[in-house]
């Protein structure tokens, strides 16, 4: 996200939902639709094609998603050195009342 801020040259504020507050998170509504497929006798997620088909049928306020399958394999276990993390942290302005949930990334 810090690189994205640098690319746009504007600050970005990250607001996270606290654990167990999924009712406020709009993406959680997608899981209910997927549950309807599973519990409604729609079959099992046996392959990627079925998964993409189900995801394509999900709607929100009458709109269907535009999606594409990414076959990119991302590296796991990547971490920053302490020095690099310190540079990132210097760009973060954390809300004193909600330091884990409200973070402003300053642009350079």
Each residue of 6-58: pLDDT tens digit?
A: 999 999 999 887 776 667 776 776 777 677 766 765 667 778 888 888 888 87
Give the Cα separation of 42 and 83 in Å (integer).
51
Helix (H) or strand (E) holding 15: strand 12-15
SS3 at position 93: strand
Single pTM value for the model: 0.55
Give the Cα separation of 32 and 29 in Å (integer).
5
Token pair recorded at residue 76: 């796991």
DSSP character for 38?
H
Each residue of 47-96: pLDDT tens digit?
A: 888 888 888 887 778 888 888 888 999 888 888 999 999 999 999 999 99
pLDDT at 102 over 70: yes
Token pair recorded at residue 92: 């973060």
């Amino acid at each position: 996200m810090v690189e994205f801020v640098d690319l746009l040259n504007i600050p970005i504020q990250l607001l996270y939902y606290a654990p167990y507050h999924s009712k406020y998170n709009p993406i959680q509504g997608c899981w209910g639709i997927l549950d309807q497929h599973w519990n409604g006798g729609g079959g099992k997620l046996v392959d990627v094609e079925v998964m993409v088909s189900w995801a394509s049928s999900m709607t929100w306020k009458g709109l269907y998603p535009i999606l594409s399958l990414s076959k990119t394999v991302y590296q796991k276990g990547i971490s920053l050195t302490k020095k690099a993390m310190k540079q990132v942290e210097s760009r973060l302005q954390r809300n004193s009342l909600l330091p884990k949930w409200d973070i402003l990334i300053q642009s350079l």
